[in-house]
Amino acid sequence: MAINRPPIVKIGAGRFSSVLKVDDPHRGESIAEKKIHTSTSGLGIQSLKGALRELFILRLLSHHPNIIDLFDHRFEGHCLVLQLRLYDMDLDSLMDRNPPLPPSLIKLICRDVLNGLSFVHDAGIMHRDLKPGNILLDGDGRVVLCDFGLARASGEEKECIPPITREVATRWYQSPEILLGTEVQTSSCDIWAAACILCEMYRGQPLIAGQTDIQQLFLLYKRFGGSPLVVPRKDRPTDLLGDDLRYWPAATLLPDYGKIPFARDAVESAQSWSGRLAADIPRLPPTALPMLAGAFRYDPRLRNTHARQLLESEFFDDCRGSIATALADYLRDSEAKPPPPVEDPWEDSFDSECSFFHQPN
């Protein structure tokens, strides 16, 4: 006699996990099941500890409206299975539609992302992998953060924190100190990523899209006017904590600082970072610039460290309306399109600028 089993559809996969769409007869709806493999690559107890950490963090956070709902969990062989609410799309797929996201919807999405991130930071947690693919939405207007596989408690011993994975899609949202190999991470890395996502929604393409860590740093320095300022500049003394985001004396102490010896003037620009950003993203409201100034500082000690600091910005003063209505209107009037090729105005110049690199002795 044939047994009717609920259909299972694979909807995502990572290095150590897979996500399945499963019909749950007990709830009468489809849910997402995330299977975390606890014995991958011979990591043994460390892999199990990582899976249990993600479970603990989700149990701590998932009751917030902007954090993915955790229904239940179970062990299945060498896998920890998390039963999660299923959402219609992620922010990546929403941005892959035509026309671009309307400004009113961008603000509403950004507000909810930061509300969720603020709750994460209130709990003393760093997400550490914030990107459009880890922001989920549904037709009811819910916007939630997901995938806490790399999340850690602030101040957790550095030997317990594995390096962030180097997939290209994650690299684009990494802060300078991570790209330079820091062993001490703070919640300011989430703030950098959130600012990149905000700019991407207005721009329609990733803000900085390097294909290697070195290229990512090169394009980052191009974007913000140059490599880190490790000593005060006599000609612009008032800009060190103001307009110039590059002031970062401690950069020389990072493990990879000397391994990537850019000629210091190779990517320097006379135009202010805000002028370049406004010219490149004409739709970006002027009220966003002060908020971004606190989010894009090279030095993590000078960068904002809590999402609440961004929510207090003037940028959100006119953020009103129902996200469910705004999202429904946009989906009705838009159509899916193939993901556009990533084009960056500075990417083509990378090869020609390689002469500015110095080969180590």
Give the catalytic positions in this structure.
129
**Parallel, antiparallel, or unpaired: how do β-strands 135-137 and 143-145 relate?**
antiparallel
**DSSP codes, 274-287:** HHHHHHH-TTS-TT
Q: Is residue 176 within 8 Å of 298, Cβ to Cβ?
A: yes
86: left (phi over 0), alpha (psi -120 to 50) or beta: beta
Q: How far apart are CA 174 and CA 189, in angstroms?
A: 7
CA distance 166 to 210: 11
Expressed in angstroms, the distance from the first to the final Cα of the chain is: 73
Nearest to 106 by CA among 278, 288, 333, 332: 288
E-strand stretches of the chain = 8-13, 17-24, 29-37, 70-76, 79-85, 89-90, 97-98, 125-126, 135-137, 143-145, 152-153, 335-336
| Residue of 266, 269, 229, 259 whose CA lies nearest to 247 | 229
Cα of 219 vs its chain's centroid, Å: 17
What 3-state DSSP class applies to 67?
strand
Please report where in the chains the tokens 């394009």 appear, as a residue: 219
